[in-house]
Amino acid sequence: MASGPATRRRRLPLFLIGVGSLLAFLAIFALWANRQLLDTDNWTDTSSELLENDDIRGQVSIFLVDQLYANVDVEDRIADAFPRAQSIAGPVAGGLKDLAIRGVDGLLERPRPQALWEEANRRAHRRLLQVLEGGGDNLSTEGGNVTLDLKSLLGQTADSIGVGGRASEKLPADAAEITILESDQLELAQDGVQALKTAAIVLVVLALGLMALAVYLARGWRREALRASGWGLVFAGATALIARGLAGDAVVGALAKTASVKPAAEAAWSIGTSLHVEAASAAIAYGVVLILAAWLAGPTRPAVATRRTLAPYIREPRLAYGALAVIVLLLVAWGPTPALRRAIPTLILIALLALGVEVLRRQAAREFPDASRAESAARMRERAAKLGQAFRRGGGGAEEDRYEQLERLGRLRDSGVLDTPEFEREKAQLLGVAPVAPAAPAAPAAEETS
């Protein structure tokens, strides 16, 4: 029953870590939606990646050619151009459509059409944000809808297959438009955007705040609480990736009505959720850092040996924080996570890293106040030599080491340093078997009586 109060003291921190992990899972989705839907640069970059995909570009080509044929009488244009071939204008127009799709696919790989595609997406996203954030007098949408206008690309399509000129000028204003937001969805979308902006910040702050509070309340087992927080972040990131995969199956199944469209739908989902993968991977990475920090501060033999080796260096602030500065500069230049590409989150991460370094510095100073650099350097050289030796030996390294130790034990027995029971005990421990008891000396034979 003595463990009852201790168990009750752990319940609240563990509960806080569990809630924080759930909020971190939700925060990943909020961050992804906020960065993907409400950032024009990210929207435009994603649209460029979409067009670079072969399957998606093929579907865009089909859409543009279908729109051209729907708005331009291609058969009539062919008949006007070749009066003597009026009777075969219909079959020629049909055959030209397949060639046109392949031609437009090649056209969309060129810089000019890609620039038109990017500009159309950028303009559509700005209109979308204007609508979602309240609109304005200069906002113009067709029928109250926000649309992606690809008319400029449609004109290029008409020119590329030889039915341009005046025909492209007569295209309807709504030709090649893709509706992004319909007017009856406006109020719901505006409410969703406001909630999304708030959630992206609040969820992150709450998740990290609850985990920090849990570590603070876990007096006597803070290292374990820190490790549990790390596993919570890893769980949140991994679960978010699994949820993305499950949602992708549902979304692709709903969008891809035919098998020919499925590859493009899968590619669109993969590219459109790439920022979600970044956010989930970042959560896993931060969780791994917390787990490693908890391990480094722990009582295991490798952790203690690592602290002993680092102690002569991290005891000195200029060396410890100088190394931290180099690591931070490399991370900022690399930018492996979204937070390290933004000023305020980067400053928060730097502060947390500095706090962790200071805690490790003080722990190493308490445990190994007399550790010297010479001793630490010698230990590192010894470890490097062992690793190099094992690498050179390959898979047979462990077996050869065991034979060498057996030979050394035999020499110690022969020289009298070890007696037979000690030799057998050490040998059994080395081989991982039960020690063999030495045979009892034979009883002297009874003397014969005469």
Cα dihedral across residues 30, 31, 32, 36: positive or negative: positive
Per-residue pLDDT of the chain (450 residues; tens, 9 = 90+): 445 556 667 889 999 999 999 999 999 999 988 888 888 888 888 888 888 888 888 888 888 888 777 777 666 766 666 665 566 666 766 667 777 788 888 888 888 888 888 888 888 888 777 777 655 443 444 455 666 667 666 666 666 666 555 555 555 656 666 665 566 555 666 677 778 778 888 999 999 999 999 999 998 898 999 999 999 999 999 999 999 999 888 888 887 778 888 888 888 889 889 999 999 999 999 999 999 999 999 988 888 888 888 899 988 899 999 999 999 999 889 888 888 888 888 898 899 899 999 999 998 888 888 888 888 888 788 777 777 766 665 544 455 566 677 777 777 777 776 778 878 877 777 776 555 555 555 455 444 443
Least Cα distance to 233 among 198, 274, 276, 282 occurs for 282
Residue 236 lies in a domain: no
pLDDT of residue 402: 65
The answer to the question of residue 443 being in a domain is no
- 328 plus 414 within the same structural domain: no
Last residue of some domain: 181, 198, 214? 181
Number of domains in the chain: 3
Are 302 and 430 found together in one domain? no
What is the reported pLDDT for 391?
67
Give yes or no: residues 55 and 163 share one domain: yes
Whether residues 310 and 410 fall in one domain: no
Dihedral sign of CA atoms 80, 83, 87, 93 in order: negative
Q: Are residues 360 and 417 in the same domain?
A: no
Last residue of a domain, one of 133, 150, 181: 181
Q: Could you give the dihedral angle defined by the CA atoms of residues 190, 192, 195 and 198, in that order, rounded to the nearest 10 degrees? A: -80
Cα angle for residues 96, 98, 102 (degrees, 5° grid): 110
- Are residues 412 and 303 part of one domain? no
How does strand 146-149 pair with strand 177-181? antiparallel
- Terminal CA-to-CA distance of the chain, rounded, Å? 76
For residue 139, the model assigns a pLDDT of 41
Residues in Cβ contact with 93 at an 8 Å cutoff, skipping those fewer than 6 apart: 69, 74, 75, 78
pTM (2 d.p.): 0.71
**DSSP one-letter string for 100-163:** HHHHHHHHTTSHHHHHHHHHHHHHHHHHHHHHHTT--TT---GGG-EEEE-HHHHHHHHHHTT-
Do the domain assignments include residue 324?
A: yes
Looking at the structure, tell me whether residues 327 and 412 fall in a common domain: no
Positive or negative, the CA dihedral 131, 134, 139, 141 is positive
The answer to whether position 2 is within a domain reads: no
Identify whether 133 is part of a domain.
Answer: yes
* Shared domain check, 166 and 75: yes
Query: How far is CA 89 from each of CA 66, 70, 82, 157, rounded to the nearest angstrom?
Result: 18, 16, 8, 20
Those residues whose C-beta lies under 8 Å from the C-beta of residue 221, and which sit 6 or more positions away, are: 10
Q: Do 226 and 219 meet the contact criterion of CB atoms below 8 Å apart? A: no
Which domain covers residue 147, as residue numbers? 38-181
- Among the three residues 394, 417, 443, which one is the final residue of a domain in this structure? 394
Residue 30 lies in a domain: no
In this prediction, residue 448 carries a pLDDT of 44
The token pair at 141 is 């949408």
Same domain flag for 370 and 411: no
pLDDT at 184: 59
**Do 127 and 58 share a domain, yes or no?**
yes
- Is 126 within the bounds of a domain? yes
Note whether 350 and 415 are same-domain residues.
no
Considering the domain boundaries, does residue 440 fall inside one?
no
Do 177 and 48 lie in one domain? The reply is yes
